[in-house]
Structure 1
Amino acid sequence: MDATYKQFVVPGGLTYTGKATSPKAYSGLNRVKIAWLRGADPSVIKAKVYWNNYADSVGVDIPPTGDTISVMITNLLEKNYTFVIRTYDGKGNSSIPVEVVGGSYGEKYQAQLLTRPVNSTFINAKGKLTINWGGADVSNGAFASEVKYTDVLGNVKYQIFPVEMKTSEILDLKPNTNYQFRTIFKPDSLSIDNFYTGYTDGGLFSFDKKDWSIIDFSTQHPGGDNAVTNFIDGTDATRWHTCAGCSSYPHFATIDMGAERTITQFGVWRTTFETGGDDRGPDKFQFFTSTDKVTWVNQGTFNFNRLINGEQRYLTPNNPRARYFKFVGIQGPQSYMVMGEISTYGL
């Protein structure tokens, strides 16, 4: 009556070694790290990890000490894998198989990564750089931005800022230099490798208007809503209104930026203080720069579209060094002038 199963009976029984405990697969760049806890079976001296349906494998010697066993599997294609772990004793007895699932990442993942943008960069009179970040690609694993720059001693430095930070500061940037930035990704919480986008240049700095002051101007209409200081308050929703009925072109405002800078561009807005925007700005203006408030350099005459909202940017032809600049409206539809905001950019 034992005939149906007698052929399957092993005399003395089968001996199984202690199996791999709590295995994990740690993803990486065309590689996966497999790790598990050392079991209580002292007879285990080696292990073998299989993948691709046992077509590929790697052996692992089990050291006499240590709490964790691990092996790195390299040169993997970019895909998910099922890994099978078996442990062995000195007599060749094996454990029951233990499976763990993991994957490797490569060019396909790298190609879809997006650099976190910089919305704006401000530099103040003391050289403090403030970077305002845009949204990060957290769905693909973005967790930090790296900023590369040269410090005041001439050393190349790197700073890491987590994506939770909307604003970052660099306090020791070498004057008249720029920075580069890139985004760092971790494809999953168990990844052993970080992935990086390429470096992007920091672009133009906007000079912080908190350091600015109006040191001279032509006229302003009575009332705080019309003050010339509204021309540099950081928003086009306020206005500088020159004196209506008691002024005529040219109208000007002279600004001290608080520190000498290289100006490569400047931007001008009409005001949106009035619903829909105010078209009483100039049609033409001039832009002057100075390092000492004595000698002024004419940077050119420019056309201004007073019929549209938003910033209008203008390149300075010679990228002048200046601490002071003067905006001069020279022609417009009324005798007075209404303006929104002005900014300067450069290094």
Structure 2
Amino acid sequence: MKYIYGVYCFLMLCLFIQGCTKDDTEFKSYLKDGEIVYPGRVSPVITKPGNFRTALWWNPSPDPSVTRYVVYWNNKTDSVVVNATSHRPQDTIKATIPNLKEYTYSFIIYSYDQQGRKSIPVEANNVRVFGSLYQAGLLNRPYNATNPYTLNDNGSLTLNFNSPDTININTVIKYTNTTGASAERMLKPESSSLVLPDYKPGSTIQYKSSYIPGKGSLDTFTVSSYSVFPRIYSYVLCDRLLFKEVHLNNDAGTYESATSISKLWDGSVGPQGYPNIFHSNGSSGMPHTITFDLGKIYDNLARIEETGRDCCNNPDDFEVWGIADLTGAETNLPANNPGWKDESQAKGWVLLKEVIRTDDGKNAVIAELNNNEKPIRYIRIRIKHVTTGDGNYSNMSEIRFWNKQ
């Protein structure tokens, strides 16, 4: 047993000596040129997207031996050298890589010392470079299709837009001002509307938006062409000097000549008293109609203002009808007949609006008309109910119309 144990120990000693000799040889082979030194590498890299270019930012290595950095890309076939101007970790080294293709790149950064020794690499992968393809896909910021603009009482114009994409940085509005000169204003992304205080009514408005592809972008990308804002309509008061009375079959008569239909466009302001009003004669029942001529055809009759009498029998439910030509348009049924509406439409009359008031009917009220894209010259007012509930008489002081153009 002692013999066997001695042989075992001898063999183990030989193996130990052989192993140490092999490791020692290999270790010496690694150090044949001296100890390996790696200069300090840079901090993680921040990338900045750009137009056919990109930028790489990093904090410099605190290693004072570092003299330069080399950025490689395209499998190290391309590179740029950046001098190490600082070793303060709180500083920033910036390298801009120009003349790139619209592509996704990977970059490798090495730190080098004066002896040419390089650091462990730091990689920046999936770095996207933008260009003409990205720009071609950009669209101008959308306007608010439900309420694109507001014409303000002071003559200014408010343009309304939808919320933009998060990468939108501005939208340029180009328009003609009241002097006839071209003007521009800037809509910021955080704003949903822009006021043009000096807009020339009827002139064209164009807009173009700019974007950045990401946070910290080097470049701004602008949509290649302007978009045209929806046409801005202005309300033009119809010339009441052209208005004329028309008396169609079954229309209501007037109480006396001094209270004729023409009182509705005599230029008076505010609720009027008798006899400076229109006053029906009370023989037509309710509903009843009156008809008049605007004096010319309006392609976009868009608004009515009605003012009641200073006391009583003011319409609180009336319909506004219109037509371009009275040839063959006269109805046979009285306005209180259930078939009157169908006959009127069959004759070509267009229901522009039913105005329902909830007040005493005295003060002026404005209502928007829908002409269904029909030209209008002749107006028929069908009075269905008055504030007093009277079944015969109706009174009004004034009526005005506007055309939208």
TM-score in terms of structure 2 length: 0.54
In 2 relative to 1, CA 157–251 (structure 1 residues): closer, same or farther, beyond 3 Å?
closer
Q: Which amino acid aligns with 2:72?
A: Y
Residues 92-131 of structure 1 aligned to structure 2 (within 5 Å): 92-101=116-125, 102-118=127-143, 119=145, 120-124=148-152, 126-131=154-159
Q: Deviations over 1:120-159 (max 9, x none)?
A: 23333543120011353x27x3343222345567775543
Kindly report the root-mean-square deviation, in angstroms, between the aligned alpha carbons of the 2 structures: 4.4
2:49 alignment partner in structure 1: 27
CA pair 304-30 structure 1, distance change in 2 beyond 3 A: farther
- 8 Å Cα contact 1:282/1:337 also seen in 2: no
The 1-side partners of 2:135 and 2:374 are apart by 37
Look up the SS of the partner of 1:46 in the other structure: strand
- 2:210 counterpart residue number: 184
* Matched residue, 1:250: 292
Decide whether aligned partners of structure 1 residues 265 and 55 sit closer, same or farther in structure 2, where only a CA change above 3 A counts.
farther
Following TM superposition, by how much is the alpha carbon of 1:268 offset from its aligned partner in structure 2, in angstroms?
A: 4.5
Output the CA distance in 2 between the equivalents of 1:135 and 1:311.
32
SS of corresponding position for 1:30: coil
Deviations 1:137-192 (A, max 9, x none): x27x3343222345567775543323342222122446764432112222222322
Query: 2:100: which partner in 1?
Result: 76
Give 1:337 deviation, angstroms: 7.3
Is 1:125–1:208's contact at 8 Å kept on the other side of the alignment? no
Equivalent pair of 1:46/1:87 in contact (CA under 8 Å): yes
- Separation in structure 2 between the aligned mates of residue 133 and residue 105 of structure 1, nearest angstrom: 27
Select 1:282's aligned residue among 296, 316, 321. Answer: 321
Question: Partners in 2 of 1:71 and 1:3 — Cα distance?
Answer: 44
Find the structure with the greater CA-based Rg.
2
Distance 1:150 1:42 in 2: 61
Q: Distance in 1 between matches of 2:162 and 2:211?
A: 16
Matched ranges for 1:1-347 at <5 A: 1=20, 2-9=24-31, 11-63=33-85, 67-101=91-125, 102-118=127-143, 119=145, 120-124=148-152, 126-134=154-162, 136=164, 138=165, 141-149=167-175, 157-173=183-199, 177-197=203-223, 198-207=225-234, 245-250=287-292, 266=300, 268=302, 282=321, 284-285=323-324, 306=351, 312-313=372-373, 328-330=377-379, 336=382, 344-346=403-405
Tell me the SS of whatever aligns to 1:282: strand
Report which of the two has the higher share of strand: 1
Matches of 2:32 and 2:302 in 1, distance apart?
90
The percent identity for this pair of structures is 26
Structure 1 stretch displaced more, 117-126 or 100-109: 117-126
Describe the SS at the equivalent of 1:13.
coil
Report if the CA contact (8 A) 1:35-1:71 is conserved.
yes
More helix by share: 2
User: Structure 1 63/202 Cα, relative in aligned 2: closer, same or farther at 3 Å?
Assistant: same
Q: Deviations over 1:234-265 (max 9, x none)?
A: xxxxxxxxx95443222769xxxxxxxxxx97
C-alpha change, 1:156 and 1:32, in structure 2 (3 Å) is farther
* Counterparts in 2 of 1:156 and 1:252: CA distance versus 1, 3 Å: closer
In the aligned structure 2, how far is the partner of 1:131 from the partner of 1:9?
Answer: 75
Q: What runs of 5+ residues in structure 1 fail to find an aligned partner?
A: 220-227, 229-242, 254-263, 271-279, 287-302, 316-326
Whole-Å Cα distance in 2 between the matches of residues 79 and 307 of structure 1? 58
Write the letter of the residue equivalent to 1:128. Answer: S
**Residues in 2 aligned to 1:86 and 1:328: alpha-carbon distance in whole angstroms:** 82
Inter-partner Cα distance in structure 2 for 1:48 and 1:311: 72
List runs of 5+ in structure 2 lacking aligned partners: 1-19, 246-250, 252-263, 265-279, 281-285, 305-318, 326-347, 354-368, 385-400
The normalised TM-score by structure 1 is 0.62
Amino acid paired to 2:82? V
